[in-house]
A and B are shown apart, each in its own frame.
Chain A
Amino acid sequence: MLHWIGRRTLSLTTGLGDFALFTGRSFHAAWGSKRIFQRILRAFYEQGTLCLPVILIVGLFTGLVVGLQGYYVLNRFGSEGLLGALVSLSLVREMAPVLAALMLVGQAGSALAAELGIQRNSEQIVALETMGVSSHAYLIAPRLIAALVVFPMQTAIFVAIGLWGGSLSGSLMLGVESGVYWSSVERAVGSEDIRECFTKATIFGLLTISICAYHGFNAHRCRTATGARAVSASTTRAVVHSSIVVLAADYVITSFLV
């Protein structure tokens, strides 16, 4: 038992160190990399434009549900006028950064892990290295840099569409005055809340895209499978680890910031 714990601890520490080196090396490699701006734009498109529909849909339904549930709870205390505050604070502080990150992991993160895994399997990554091109600079760095911008932007869009969803369910369906709803939103949300929201979004973006890239890039090191199965296993691991890390990091950041 002790042997098993020791082995697992060592393996976890080594893995974390390797992951930190991978992320650090990728940012370092971006420095002086040629034509990186074009690849960053491409990553903006992958993480931004392609993921926008899912962000809009999930944001809208989250706002609708929070508005509905919030109305029934507040109605018990005769405080329907605070619906805007409830929806906005729930979205800005917690739901938007976490749900947007999870959606981006599901779409952009899984695609990234699978793409890198296939490139590893078909020797495209080794080919880059033999050409004297840093695979970290060419494949990973643009995605990490884009994530630092795209995740906060997607979170902001999530908040906006969520607030509109809350107003739809509150004002149009349940009869809360639209002006009351929006003025309550305006009064409730402060600059600290927005800062917390964007801090979380940036950290989640960095962590999740690094984790997905790390698993895809190292698909050949998968111990349990090879070939296509290794790509599938590394993609699954990337999504599961990223999702867990988002929730764990959310707790840690909240406990420090609140």
Chain B
Amino acid sequence: MSTANPDFLLHVEGLRMSFGSRSVLTGVSFGVERGSVFTVLGPSGAGKSVLLKCLANVVRPDAGEIRFDGQVLSRNNPKAHADFRRRCSFLFQSNALFDSLTSLENVALPLEQTTNLKNHEIRERCFEALTQLEIHEHADHYPSQLSGGMQKRLALARAIVTRPELVFFDEPTAGLDPLRRNAVFTMIAKYQRQFGFTALIVTHDVVEALVASDRVALLDQGRICFEGPSEEFSCSGHTVVSAFRDSAAALGTSLAAIRCEELGRSKNL
């Protein structure tokens, strides 16, 4: 068993997970420092979401160790699990908002169910979170009445209302246009600084992630093939890293080649 670095709020060691004969995670190890933004990058199907679900304790890994604030999260340690749940939040790719509850009720739910706060205190805390995320005017609206960006902010309000120390973000920009992607990463960076939580983001948006993160890890074929500061990722010569990082440029080159080929064909005709 490894000794945990006290600077790490979350420390993962040798995480393995497989579904039947298909190995999804094959020994993932990394540490997330307190108050930092840590991003796990990787192509689709690399095992990012499974990794996040293992970390958030939604699925149980086959092997490996997860330490939260120095405490090992294992089946035999329910107290550590309860502590972990109390101090963490999860922002889902689909937002996972309760569609039969209003915005205010959605944000109030974790406080009502996990704290002993009085009704007026819960209401104050909820309005504080909704105001900070600039959606307090929609407190009585249902999630279906809000735009995609507002729903994302509402999900973030619900995630931060319990004042967590660690927030997991699962593909926060999936399916969004470039402008909205920027807005979401700006929002994460802004509120991470404002509230001081530690953020662990799983995404495949390289450019935005590099700007918003302190450290980056690249997951490929169930294994971390790069881990370091985002500046280092930008200039790394590692084959997989450069292939992933330069994928946009590679797409441009491929498209240019196709266009040249088409042009050549039309001239020959």
Contacts and interface: CB of A to CB of B under 8 A. Distances in A.
Interface of A: 33-35, 119, 122-124, 126-127, 129-133, 138
23 contacts: A33-B113, A34-B113, A35-B112, A35-B113, A122-B96, A123-B92, A123-B94, A123-B96, A124-B98, A124-B99, A127-B90, A127-B96, A129-B58, A130-B85, A130-B89, A131-B89, A131-B90, A131-B113, A131-B114, A132-B85, A132-B113, A132-B114, A133-B114
Given A122-B94, A130-B85, A132-B85, 16 more contacts: A34-B114, A119-B98, A122-B96, A123-B94, A123-B96, A126-B96, A127-B90, A130-B58, A130-B88, A131-B85, A131-B89, A131-B109, A131-B162, A132-B110, A133-B109, A133-B114
B90 A130 contact: yes
B interface residue count range (under 10 / 10 to 19 / 20 to 34 / 35 or more): 20 to 34
A122 B92 CA distance: 10
A33 B113 CA distance: 8
Interface in B42-85: 56-58, 82, 85
Interface of B: 56-58, 82, 85-86, 88-90, 92, 94, 96-99, 109-110, 112-114, 162
A124 B96 contact: yes
Contacts of B96: 122-124, 126-127
A129 B57 CA distance: 9
Contacts of B86: 132
Contacts, number: 50
A130 B89 CA distance: 7
A205 B120 CA distance: 37
B233 to A, nearest CB: 28
A138 B92 CA distance: 20
A150 to B, nearest CB: 20
Contacts of A133: 109-110, 113-114
A132 B82 contact: yes
A133 to B, nearest CB: 4
> Which 5 pairs between the two chains have the least Cβ-Cβ distance?
A132-B85, A127-B96, A130-B90, A123-B96, A133-B113
